[in-house]
Copies of this chain bind each other. A is one copy, B any other.
Amino acid sequence: MTDRAPEGEQALLAEPMRSRWSPSIFDDTHVITTEQVRLLLLAAQWAPSCGNAQPAAFVVAVRGSASHQVLVRHLSRGNSGWVPRASVVLVIGAQVAPDENGEGGYKPFHAEYDTGQAAAHLSLQARAMGLHAHQFAGFDKAAVAEELGVPAHYKLMAGIAVGVPGNPADVAERDRDREHRPRRRRPLAAVAHGARWGLPWDGLDE
């Protein structure tokens, strides 16, 4: 994999937002260090959350580990080729109900939103460390939760595959193709409202 240049207006952003994208060809010989994984987790931990509830939690599935083997067995067909090659997968869950003791600093309205923030901080920390992250949803979440003993008050949201670029010749054509899809976003006028919803923010005219 040769890395991709930022597309369109993404090139205007500061790093690590500028060069973040989600590759699908990882080097399956790259070994991530425990210190690197610890920094990824710390970045997630220092993301903001409503009332500092910190709803995000993780299963750390280093390639080849016991939890990685469970995850790999339950990947969707589309993810079964590329995900197992990544150096680590952080399976991320959101605390969506009180814990066994009725506690947990739990703020239900923002549990998923703040878990997304933790995932973003983790992914951007990865990019800043020269790694790439690719989040995916395609795995049997109920089966993984059951086999790994995830309690019912946590909802598994996604897997975050982290690693370094690999050789396109080592992966299936489908995964090579995915790597070259154009990356697009809706125009700001469709998402940035001004005086009221439906009136685009007037800063877009300039």
Contact A37 B203 (CB under 8 A): yes
Determine which of B67, B112, B193 lies in contact with A195 in the assembled complex, contact meaning CB atoms within 8 Å: B67
Contact B57 A128 (CB under 8 A): no
Contact B113 A46 (CB under 8 A): no
Asked if A85 is at the interface of the complex by the 8 Å CB criterion, the answer is: no
Q: Which residues of B contact A17 (CB under 8 A)?
A: 43, 46, 121, 124-125, 128
Contact B203 A38 (CB under 8 A): yes
Contact residue range for chain A? 35 or more
| Distance in angstroms between the alpha carbons of A58 and B117 in the assembled complex | 17
Contact B124 A191 (CB under 8 A): no
Other than the given A9-B42, A41-B192, 15 more pairs (CB < 8 A) read A12-B39, A14-B43, A14-B125, A17-B125, A34-B206, A35-B206, A46-B185, A48-B120, A59-B197, A62-B203, A67-B196, A110-B137, A112-B112, A115-B116, A124-B124
Chain A residues at the B interface, C-beta cutoff of 8 Å: 9-10, 12-17, 20, 22, 34-35, 37-39, 41-48, 50, 52, 54, 56-60, 62, 65-67, 94, 109-110, 112-117, 119-121, 123-125, 128-129, 135, 137, 147-151, 154, 157-158, 184-186, 188, 190-198, 201, 203-204, 206
